Amino acid sequence: MKAIKDFRRDTPPMTAAAGNAARGRLLAAALEPERRRAPRLGWRLAVAAALAVTVGTGVVVARDQPRTTPVASVSELGERAARAAYDDRGQVPSAGQWLYIRELQAPQSADGGYGVDVSRRVVWEQWTSVDGKQVAALYPDGRLLVQGNHPGLGAADLGRAPVTPESVLAMIRQKLEGMEWVVDGPQTPPSAEEQLFQAVYQLMGTQALPPEVRAALFRGLATIPGVRVATEVADADGRRGVAFSYTGESARYDLILDPVDYRFLGTSGVQTKGYTGVADVKGGTIAAGTPLTLTARLEARIVDGPGQR
Partner 1 sequence: MTVETAELDDAELIRRSADDPEQFALLFDRYARQIHLYAARRIGTQAADDIVAETFLAAFRRRGSYDPSYRLARPWLYGIATTLVARHRRQEERMLRALARTGVDPLPEPVADVVVDRVAAGDRERELAGALASLSRGDRDVLLLVAWEELSYEEVAQALGIPVGTVRSRLHRARRKARAVLGDEEPE
Least Å distance, CB 126 to partner 1, is: 14
Q: Say if residues 221 and 51 touch (Cβ distance below 8 Å).
A: no
Q: Which of 39, 76, 86, 123 is close enough to bind partner 1 by CB under 8 A? A: 123
Residue 161 within binding range of partner 1, rule CB under 8 A: no
Q: Say if residues 57 and 229 touch (Cβ distance below 8 Å).
A: no
Query: What's the rounded Cα separation, in Å, for the pair 142 and 149?
Result: 20
A 10 A CB-CB count for 114 gives 20
Query: What's the rounded Cα separation, in Å, for the pair 209 and 244?
Result: 18
Residue 298 within binding range of partner 1, rule CB under 8 A: yes
Q: List strands edge to edge, sheet with 240-247.
A: 144-148, 134-138, 122-129, 98-105, 291-303, 264-271, 251-257, 240-247, 227-234
Least Å distance, CB 44 to partner 1, is: 17
Q: Which of 35, 89, 143, 309 is close enough to bind partner 1 by CB under 8 A? A: 309
Distance of CA 109 to the CA centre of its chain: 22
Nearest to 56 by CA among 229, 225, 203, 220: 229
Least Å distance, CB 88 to partner 1, is: 15
In the stretch 15-54, what mask flags binding to partner 1 with x, by CB under 8 A?
x--xx-xxx-xxx-xxx-xx--------------------
Residue 4 within binding range of partner 1, rule CB under 8 A: yes
Residue 147 within binding range of partner 1, rule CB under 8 A: no
Least Å distance, CB 202 to partner 1, is: 25
Q: Which of 39, 66, 142, 162 is close enough to bind partner 1 by CB under 8 A? A: 142
Chain residues in the site for partner 1 (CB under 8 A): 1-5, 7-8, 10-15, 18-19, 21-23, 25-27, 29-31, 33-34, 123, 142, 237, 298, 301, 303-304, 308-309
